[in-house]
Chain A
Amino acid sequence: MTAPMPISLEVNGERVDAHVLPRLNLADFLREQLQLTGTHVGCEHGVCGACTVRVNGEIVRSCLMLAVQMHGASVQTIEGLSDSGEVTDLQAAFRDRNALQCGFCTPGMLMAAQDLLKQHAEPDRERIREHLSGNYCRCTGYQAIVDAVETTARARVGRRP
């Protein structure tokens, strides 16, 4: 059973069939087998949030999931959200507000922020901080990230940013 196991899943809307070793985590599977390198690998033990992706519509740590567990699942990565235009405004707000510098945390930040905005149309700053508390950023000091998320939320509900 340590041999590769067959899995079949959907990644960003496309059917993927693959063989994976049980020890391979989802983040490495996405990066190394599917070349979806927008999902970043930071701490590899669930602390930093850089590897955040969606599984069946909910955000998860892809370093804490095995690729074999994904059989039958639907996975969305930052590439999927970016290509579909779902986070275009959020990405623009991150640029405008200088909410990134090195960019390592940004894919995970965008995944977590979009998850919040889907659940709460108008989160206050405390709520934003709470929802992003599992995502480390070592450049910005977070203020600009909270600004960008807040700006996007306001724009989406039709108010002036």
Chain B
Amino acid sequence: MSGEYQTAGCGGGTVQDARLRIGATLLLSCAAFSSIFGAVLVAVWWAVVARGERNLPGKRPATVIFGTIALVAAFTEACGGDGLSYGFRMTIVTLIAFWAFGRGREGDLMNTAVWAFGDRIGFDLGLTAEMAISSLRRIEMDIGDIRNALHLKGSKGLVRDLIALGFTLTIMQIYRAREQARVLATRGYRGGGSYSPSFHTTNADIAGFFGSILIIIAIFISFAGYL
């Protein structure tokens, strides 16, 4: 297998370098989940660095996602746990996830995996990750189409519609995965391959990543002070 990826047009935006974005996502997620202090710092980072690219979901998905977090937080609080803290930290982690997922471009994970782990394991990891991401995007479109089809056919009730949507999506994904596997086998894929990763790094990328490192350092210092 061989491939070459040219980074797409880089007009505007922050953290376009996939390595820095993935690194920043990991650091920020850990920082946000570690403590309220960390979550506040990450929230500030999100407000400053991710502005204009927050990729927030629509009303309905946002209600489901943040509603689930709120429900778990309320349950935890009611059971004597620190639900409010959990709710706030998870909300910030989720906001970072939206930013990271929406900002990604095709080939980012392949570039990063091959750059980090080489042509054998890196290639396999990158390929798997790229296929997973493209499946997620495809599922997103499928859900829209299936919902429209159900609407046209006439709803049979929320539960029955959800069951129909779930099994159709699952089976379609299994078929697609099988077809993808056949294509890879036909093209001679046995594991690993050659690939030339390429990245476009801007000053904003470095500043954003550097900010996430500062946040992690601040959290370590705060923990050290606490201990």
The yes or no verdict on A and B being binding partners is no
